């Protein structure tokens, strides 16, 4: 084993907060791709809140995650060995991999990374990813903001939320209110992403802050967190409000002990709609979303921000860190250096 493959395996499934103790560092022989597989050297590894959900024993979607398995995660990397002429060695690809320096990927699950001028590989991890589809379709298909609407976005400095905020601004809503967990995030949301107001939920009474920020009530809520924030928004929705249920970060770590939502009946009282969705329902329309996002990016109307950490060793702490609010934008691990022509 001259050059081993280093990876993180699952040590245990967390019952409450995910922590580095739930992962085990492992050094193993580099795997050999079987027929229909590629061997990929990982450049970037995506660290996402949903990975905490995958680890739940009662998860109803996502890859299997039993103790002993490699921890799954989306990767962008370089083909090292291939069994397909369509994916030659050296090609940049993305796919569902693992927290590993190298991993094998089934050809059916791999996509080539297009070489777009002005879009380094790192920008692909935040703009042309599942989170971007989640933001795009959740906002534009589920929530459907109108020009007179007040739009509220939670976890607004995160990978999904920061795109939702920018897309809501582009879509022309009347008032845009972002909720995040630090003054630095709030400043970024107001000064760089165009939010009319930003609420630091860690230092505010969320209800009073929403009253002040949304004097005309709330028409659209893009919910990434659930919990008390959702309840406070529900209490302030206007007739025919729409809530895009994108995630519920506040519950992922709570072991099912969260307080319930007390204002559900506001849906009935306000003829409002709360709707969940999955980016997987919109895969057939990914081209549409990505071409719009690419255009907005070229026009300078949408920016890519990553919380980049170097070295695979950082992955467990990075996942725990998302729940502590340590990231602005998408959390990405640089596992190995990007090809020079694809660097930012």
Positions that interact with a second copy (CB under 8 A): 60-61, 223, 226, 230-231, 245-248, 251, 258-262, 264-278, 281
Tokens 């995630």 sit on residue: 247
Among residues 266 and 318, whose Cβ is nearest to a second copy?
A: 266
- The CB-of-124 to a second copy minimum distance in angstroms stands at 26
* DSSP 3-state of 164: helix
Among residues 50 and 94, whose Cβ is nearest to a second copy?
A: 50
- The CB-of-277 to a second copy minimum distance in angstroms stands at 5
Per-position DSSP letters for 98-123, written without gaps between them: ESBSEEEEEGGG-EEPP--TT--HHH
- The CB-of-40 to a second copy minimum distance in angstroms stands at 30
- The CB-of-228 to a second copy minimum distance in angstroms stands at 10
Handedness of CA 210, 213, 218, 224 (dihedral sign): negative
Among residues 6 and 273, whose Cβ is nearest to a second copy?
A: 273
Among residues 262 and 295, whose Cβ is nearest to a second copy?
A: 262
d(C-alpha 229, C-alpha 206), whole Å: 7
d(C-alpha 312, C-alpha 306), whole Å: 16
d(C-alpha 294, C-alpha 127), whole Å: 8
* DSSP 3-state of 331: strand
Cα–Cα–Cα angle for 293, 72, 248, rounded to 5 degrees: 60
Tokens in use for 238?
A: 């206007």
Among residues 56 and 314, whose Cβ is nearest to a second copy?
A: 56
CA 263 to each of CA 7, 199, 267: distance values in angstroms, whole numbers, following the listed order = 44, 21, 8
- The CB-of-229 to a second copy minimum distance in angstroms stands at 12
- The CB-of-265 to a second copy minimum distance in angstroms stands at 4
- The CB-of-56 to a second copy minimum distance in angstroms stands at 11
The string over 47-80, giving b where at least 16 C-beta atoms fall within 10 Å of a residue's C-beta and e elsewhere, is bbbbbbbbbbeeeeeeeebeeeebbbbbbbbbbe
Among residues 78 and 266, whose Cβ is nearest to a second copy?
A: 266
Among residues 134 and 162, whose Cβ is nearest to a second copy?
A: 134
Angle between helices 206-213 and 227-234 (to 10 degrees): 40
- The CB-of-57 to a second copy minimum distance in angstroms stands at 14
Nearest to 67 by CA among 8, 21, 11: 11
Among residues 3 and 61, whose Cβ is nearest to a second copy?
A: 61
What's phi and psi for 120, nearest 5 deg?
-65, 165
C-beta of residue 329 within 8 angstroms of C-beta of residue 126 = yes
Cα–Cα–Cα angle for 159, 152, 145, rounded to 5 degrees: 95
Strands 92-98 and 72-82: antiparallel
Among residues 194 and 207, whose Cβ is nearest to a second copy?
A: 207
- The CB-of-246 to a second copy minimum distance in angstroms stands at 7
């Amino acid at each position: 084993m001259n050059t081993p493959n280093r990876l993180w395996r699952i040590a245990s499934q967390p019952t409450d907060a995910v922590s580095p103790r739930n992962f085990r560092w492992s050094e193993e022989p580099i795997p050999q791709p079987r027929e229909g597989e590629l061997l990929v050297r990982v450049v970037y590894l995506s660290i996402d809140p949903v990975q905490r959900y995958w680890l739940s024993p009662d998860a109803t979607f996502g890859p299997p995650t039993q103790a002993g398995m490699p921890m799954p995660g989306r990767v962008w990397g370089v083909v090292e060995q291939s069994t397909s002429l369509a994916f030659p060695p050296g090609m940049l690809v993305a796919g569902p991999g693992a927290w590993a320096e190298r991993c094998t990927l089934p050809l059916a699950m791999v996509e080539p990374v297009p070489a777009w001028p002005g879009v380094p590989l790192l920008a692909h991890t935040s703009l042309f990813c599942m989170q971007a589809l989640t933001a795009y379709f959740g906002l534009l298909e589920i929530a459907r903001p109108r020009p007179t609407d007040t739009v509220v976005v939670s976890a607004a400095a995160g990978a999904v939320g920061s795109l939702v905020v920018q897309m809501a601004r582009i879509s022309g809503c009347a008032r845009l209110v972002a909720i995040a967990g630090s003054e630095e995030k709030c400043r970024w949301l107001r000064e760089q992403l165009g939010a009319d107001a930003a609420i630091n939920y860690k230092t505010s009474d969320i209800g009073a802050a929403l009253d002040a920020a949304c004097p005309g009530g709330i028409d659209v809520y893009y919910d990434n967190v659930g919990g008390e924030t959702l309840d406070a928004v529900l209490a302030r929705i206007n007739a025919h409000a729409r809530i895009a249920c994108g995630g519920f970060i506040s519950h992922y770590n709570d072991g099912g002990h969260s307080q319930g939502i007390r204002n559900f009946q506001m849906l009935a009282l306000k003829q409002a709609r709360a709707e969940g969705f999955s980016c997987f329902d919109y895969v057939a329309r990914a081209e549409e979303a990505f071409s719009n996002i690419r255009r907005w990016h070229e026009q300078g109307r949408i920016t890519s921000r990553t919380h980049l950490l170097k070295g695979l060793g950082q992955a467990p702490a990075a996942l725990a860190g998302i729940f502590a609010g340590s990231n602005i934008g998408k959390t990405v691990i640089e596992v190995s250096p990007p090809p020079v022509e694809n660097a930012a």
